[in-house]
């Protein structure tokens, strides 16, 4: 037998799966109907849905619309920043791409070793490990 408790906050925010290292996961806001000991009953578009995820999976959000709007605005700025980083990394290229470019240009002649003085570790942008990007960092040349 479960007991229902009044809501602690009118809304919660949760995030979906992150599709790529440079694309933020979708952010969702749900109205809270009530909660039990471990579950929260949420409403979306007036529809009741029971989400049995731990309460820690949700972030409490007050009824102030400005908080939600500010959160969305900051999330968009964050996404824009990630997109800019992705474009920068594509322009710079990986260490392997830089080595290949120099080898082709010099017709396998001599070139500096190391190719660049510093590198940045960041997830790969494309390829087979793009979807499973966590822990798959690659070196990017810093020229």
Residue 121 pLDDT grade (very low, low, confident, very high; cuts 50, 70, 90): confident
Among 53-67, 74-88, 106-120, which range has the highest average pLDDT? 74-88
Write out pLDDT tens, residues 68-110: 999 999 999 999 999 998 898 888 888 888 888 877 876 556 6
Verdict on whether the full-model pTM lies above 0.75: no
Q: Is a pLDDT exceeding 70 seen at residue 49?
A: no
Write out pLDDT tens, residues 13-43: 888 888 888 899 999 888 887 777 777 778 7
67 membership: H or E segment, kind and range:
helix 65-92
3 state SS of 105: helix
HSE (CB half, 13 Å, CA atoms) of 117? 1
Strands 59-61 and 47-51: unpaired
CA distance 114 to 77: 36
pLDDT at 73 (0 to 100): 96
Q: Is a pLDDT exceeding 60 seen at residue 60?
A: yes
DSSP letter string over 76-104? Answer: HHHHHHHHHHHHHHHHH-BHHHHHHHHHH
Residue 1 pLDDT grade (very low, low, confident, very high; cuts 50, 70, 90): very low
């Amino acid at each position: 037998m479960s007991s229902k408790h009044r809501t602690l906050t009118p809304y919660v925010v949760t995030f979906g799966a992150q599709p790529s290292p440079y694309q933020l996961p979708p952010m969702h806001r749900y109205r809270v109907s009530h909660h039990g000991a471990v579950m929260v009953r949420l409403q979306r578009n007036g529809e009741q849905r029971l989400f049995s995820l731990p309460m820690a999976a949700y972030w409490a959000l007050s009824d102030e619309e400005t908080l939600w709007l500010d959160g969305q605005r900051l999330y968009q700025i964050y996404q824009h920043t990630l997109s800019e980083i992705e474009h920068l990394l594509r322009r710079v290229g990986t260490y392997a791409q830089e080595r290949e470019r120099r080898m082709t240009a010099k017709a396998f002649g001599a070139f500096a070793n190391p190719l660049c003085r510093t590198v940045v570790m960041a997830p790969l942008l494309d390829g087979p490990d793009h979807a499973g990007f966590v822990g798959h960092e690659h070196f990017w040349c810093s020229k």
